[in-house]
Amino acid sequence: MKLTILGCHSATPRDNARPTAQVLEVKGHLFLIDCGEGTQMALRKHGVKFARIKHIFISHLHGDHVYGLVGLISTFCLLGREQPLHVYGPKGIKEMIELQMRLGSSYMPFELRFRESVEPTATLLLEDDSLTVTSIPLNHRVYTHGFLVREKPGERHLDVVACEELDVEKAYYRKIKQGADYVRENGEVINNEKLTTPGKPPKSYAFCSDTMYKEDIIPQITGVTALYHESTFLKPHEDLCKKTKHSTAAQAATIAKKADVGMLILGHYSSRYKSYDMFTDEARPIFENSHCALDGKVFEF
Amino acid sequence: MKLTILGCHSATPRDNARPTAQVLEVKGHLFLIDCGEGTQMALRKHGVKFARIKHIFISHLHGDHVYGLVGLISTFCLLGREQPLHVYGPKGIKEMIELQMRLGSSYMPFELRFRESVEPTATLLLEDDSLTVTSIPLNHRVYTHGFLVREKPGERHLDVVACEELDVEKAYYRKIKQGADYVRENGEVINNEKLTTPGKPPKSYAFCSDTMYKEDIIPQITGVTALYHESTFLKPHEDLCKKTKHSTAAQAATIAKKADVGMLILGHYSSRYKSYDMFTDEARPIFENSHCALDGKVFEF
């Protein structure tokens, strides 16, 4: 998986502090997650091909996560996009976008499909042969959910030497890689385990922003390869977390530790802090493999 | 008047080609005219104090002129603005902004007043002691109007020598500067013209974007100090002007010439052109005092 941070700052955007947006490249997909104001400029800046974006996931309807969406969709229209676009977000997002498109008398040359969420529990949003995307219920001032992108187990590695020794017909190799046992014409069964070794372990990514500290999410995200968890504040401002329903870097790290994730990416920084190191300094004593998101930074995992 | 161009490009925004937005400083006001996506970042970049903006004028509801408005208003909210904000724009703008603020459960700490236009003719939008702002009906694909900002005549210059020679009491100087004749106790009238010379001529600025070539606007804008007239295309693409209801640089210059304006500022460039000089090259043979708007450029007139 390849994650490109387009923006990772909270609230009031600046040219050098973009609001939340990121693209996740996984199994041939390019998912756009959140779309704050200016996201289309950031996509261009980082050379992301607009046509590759077919699915956009919006966590909640605060401006710093969604106000760039209508502009991006308008640009898709102006560029003559033809392929459908799927937008996943909280109830209301369809009305928000359609009203603006209607007031601008925009011609929509492609199909725009909305999947609006209202569910209070984790819900499967997208599934294909290679992955699933499930919502992660969060606790913020408005209805908010994160997203869990989970690869399906890939093909097993064929043990060609074993296959040849056991005289397996090559026509069956594909099915065997997919996990099937081999059955000879005489009915003899050779177990898949004798012919293959496990494939690459499937990877997973959890995006959790915006939210206050919420241990309920731990069972769902346990063991993910990478977790993006918001850290708007630092410990000295923990009182603001309760008021605004955000988290500190320490709280994000505690979730990462308890969920035994592979890696923690911090983000959604309040503009009151002048250094990113302050966030990793707070997180790493709790969860060592903590990293700061930065506008334009790429994580591969 | 001081005009700062925040963005002057059409349609699909890029970091180095912002959509339409400009601030006009006039008689103590700071008017924001149009507000494409990313305008709040441009305002910060150019050090414009948010608190000084009390009036925002939106020409039409195409995204490249309005999609930055809700984000700017949200930022005003987050910054705890208290003073009222006046937004002038086509009917629908209130619903567009209020829906998004409601969906984000935004707390609005200041009064947001909308003045929605539906009138087909020029209409007075704002008047105070020092200026008027009037709409300019344009011809675009959606209901669009420009804005004419006109200073009121200022005070006349006092001829202090004449006043002293004629024994005018100093207590009357202010009224005389405002144009009053001086009346002695014995009833003798001394004409104002004997005591003053004309003050600075009042300035005026007309913003006309987006529009196709429309001679109807000429009587209203005749003699303005500066005219901003869109020039999305150049002559070789004049056919696109009819289709999309835009203008060429030559058409903008023709309007400028016929309206006998002081200065023409071109803008709203299509991204197909690689040089700004192409626009002035086309306009200047028709109207010599033509200039290109550029993101960040300041015009004083």
Q: Region A92-111: what's the mean pLDDT?
A: 95
B61/A99 CB distance under 8 A:
no
Q: Considering only the beta carbons, identify the residue of B13, B78, B106 that sits closest to A12.
A: B78
Known binding residue B128? Answer is no
User: What's chain B's average pLDDT?
Assistant: 96
Note the pLDDT of residue B21. 98
Whether A11 shows a pLDDT value over 80: the answer reads no
Tokens for A247, please give them: 């988290």
Residues B154 and B202: beta-carbon distance below 8 Å: yes
CA distances from B270 to A62, A76, B20, B251, B285 (A): 32, 16, 12, 15, 21
Compute the C-alpha angle B97/B98/B103, nearest 5°.
105
B71/A67 CB distance under 8 A:
yes
- Residue of A6, A9, A12 best to disrupt the B interface, most CBs of B under 10 A: A12
Residues of A annotated catalytic, as ranges: 64
Q: How far is B232 from chain A (nearest CA, A)?
A: 15
Note the pLDDT of residue B294. 97
Note the pLDDT of residue A106. 86
B14/A63 CB distance under 8 A:
no
Note the pLDDT of residue A290. 98
Whether A154 shows a pLDDT value over 90: the answer reads no
B257: exposed, middle or buried (C-beta count within 10 Å: 0-12, 13-18, 19+)? middle
On the question of a cis peptide bond just before residue B210, with omega within 30 degrees of 0, the verdict is yes
Q: CA B72, CA A235: separation in Å to the nearest integer?
A: 29
Q: CA B68, CA B36: separation in Å to the nearest integer?
A: 5
Q: CA A84, CA A73: separation in Å to the nearest integer?
A: 11
Give the 3-state secondary structure of B233-293: ECHHHHHHHHHHCCCEHHHHHHHHHHCCCCCEEEECECCCCCCCHHHHHHHCCCCCCEEEC
Tell me the β-bridge partners of A150. A132, A204
Q: Considering only the beta carbons, identify the residue of B14, B66, B70 that sits closest to A41.
A: B14
Note the pLDDT of residue A99. 97
A63/B44 CB distance under 8 A:
no
Identify the CA nearest to A32 among candidates A21, A48, A45, A44. A21
Note the pLDDT of residue B106. 86
B63/A74 CB distance under 8 A:
yes
Residues B293 and B9: beta-carbon distance below 8 Å: no
Tokens for B257, please give them: 């010439």
Q: CA B176, CA B222: separation in Å to the nearest integer?
A: 30
Known binding residue A65? Answer is yes
Q: Considering only the beta carbons, identify the residue of B13, B66, B79 that sits closest to A40.
A: B13
Compute the C-alpha angle B261/B301/B48, nearest 5°.
125
Note the pLDDT of residue A107. 87
Identify the CA nearest to B20 among candidates B3, B1, B2, B38. B38
> Tokens 């959509």 appear where?
B19
Compare all CA atoms of chain B with the CA of A68 and give the residue at the minimum distance: B37
Q: What phi and psi, each to the nearest 5 degrees, are found at residue A127?
A: -145, 135
> Tokens 């304006």 appear where?
B261
Q: Which CATH number applies to B2-154+200-300?
A: 3.60.15.10
> Tokens 């702002």 appear where?
B133
Tell me the β-bridge partners of B145. B137
Q: CA B291, CA B228: separation in Å to the nearest integer?
A: 9
Whether A16 shows a pLDDT value over 90: the answer reads no
Which parts of chain B register pLDDT below 70?
Answer: none
Compute the half-sphere exposure of residue B274: CA atoms within 13 Å on the CB side of its CA.
Answer: 0
Q: How far is A108 from chain B (nearest CA, A)?
A: 14
Note the pLDDT of residue A28. 95
Identify the CA nearest to A28 among candidates A111, A130, A112. A130
Note the pLDDT of residue A56. 98
Q: CA B110, CA B266: separation in Å to the nearest integer?
A: 36
How would residue A263 be classed by pLDDT, with cut points 50, 70 and 90? very high
Please list every residue in chain B whose beta carbon sits closer than 8 Å to the beta carbon of residue A37. 37-38, 40-41, 68, 71
pLDDT tens column, A32-49: 999 999 999 999 999 999
DSSP string covering A73-127: HHHHHHTT--S-EEEEEETTHHHHHHHHHHHTT----S-EEEEEE--SS--EEEE
Whether A81 shows a pLDDT value over 90: the answer reads yes
Which residues of chain B approach chain A closer than 8 Å at the C-beta?
11-15, 37-38, 40-41, 44-45, 61-64, 66-68, 70-71, 74-75, 78-79, 92-93, 95-96, 99-100, 103-106, 141-142
Query: A42 by DSSP, 3-state: which?
Result: helix
- Structural domain spans, chain A: 2-154+200-300, 157-197
Note the pLDDT of residue B295. 96
Note the pLDDT of residue B227. 98
pLDDT tens column, A157-215: 999 999 999 999 999 999 999 999 999 999 999 999 999 999 989 999 999 999 999 99
> Tokens 């991204």 appear where?
B271
